[in-house]
Amino acid sequence: MISGHRRLRAVALVCSLFAGVASAGEEPPPPGPKDRCALCGMFVAPYPAWLAALVEADGTVRYFDGPKDLFRYALRHPEATANGAALWVTDYYTTHPMRAREAFYVTGSDVLGPMGAELVPVASLELAATFRADHGGERALAYDDVDSGVLEALE
């Protein structure tokens, strides 16, 4: 029979083996306290409202402290988004994960992310218009419209 202490250690080990692993078709698991942004190295768990992730086909999860760093990473590493990888961002209004390719991104608003000016993801053009009415913003962009020029303008 396994003692209570050993059982807890076994459960903790199993849980740690699955941390940071998901199916590319599933929402990423929440980050742990030691998970860092794959681009800048910032801890991501303190900023759940801005969390973004790339889930590779093998289930490996790369977390980001916001959509801006997710896009930077994807543009610098196009091979990372190939082969069935899924990109996720956190919807501004619901704070739930959504597929990055389905979101619209508001630029130039008064809402700042953990590292300053940020792409603010929302679920529809209507919500982007509502957001812009409340928080300003230059424009709402579809996923494919975000390029290095858009990211440079956020600096």
Residue 12 lies inside a defined structural domain of this protein = no
Domain count, the chain: 1
DSSP, collapsed to helix, strand or coil, labels residue 139 as strand
The model carries a pTM of 0.82
- For residue 47, the model assigns a pLDDT of 97
Residue 89 lies inside a defined structural domain of this protein = yes
> What residues contact residue 11 under an 8 Å CB cut-off, 6+ apart?
none
Whose CA is closest to 10, among 22, 18, 2, 1? Answer: 2
DSSP, collapsed to helix, strand or coil, labels residue 26 as coil
Q: What is the DSSP string of 46-106?
A: T-GGG-EEEE-TTSBEEEESSHHHHHHHHHH-GGGG-TT-EEEEE-TTT--EEEGGG-EEE
Mean pLDDT of the chain: 86
Residue 6 lies inside a defined structural domain of this protein = no
> What residues contact residue 145 under an 8 Å CB cut-off, 6+ apart?
none
> What residues contact residue 98 under an 8 Å CB cut-off, 6+ apart?
88, 89, 90, 91, 121, 123
Residue 92 lies inside a defined structural domain of this protein = yes
- For residue 25, the model assigns a pLDDT of 62
- For residue 146, the model assigns a pLDDT of 97
Residue 97 lies inside a defined structural domain of this protein = yes
pLDDT in tens, 95-109: 999 999 999 999 999
What average pLDDT does range 106-122 have in this prediction? 97
pLDDT in tens, 76-96: 998 888 777 999 999 999 999
DSSP, collapsed to helix, strand or coil, labels residue 19 as coil
Give the domain range for residue 39.
20-153
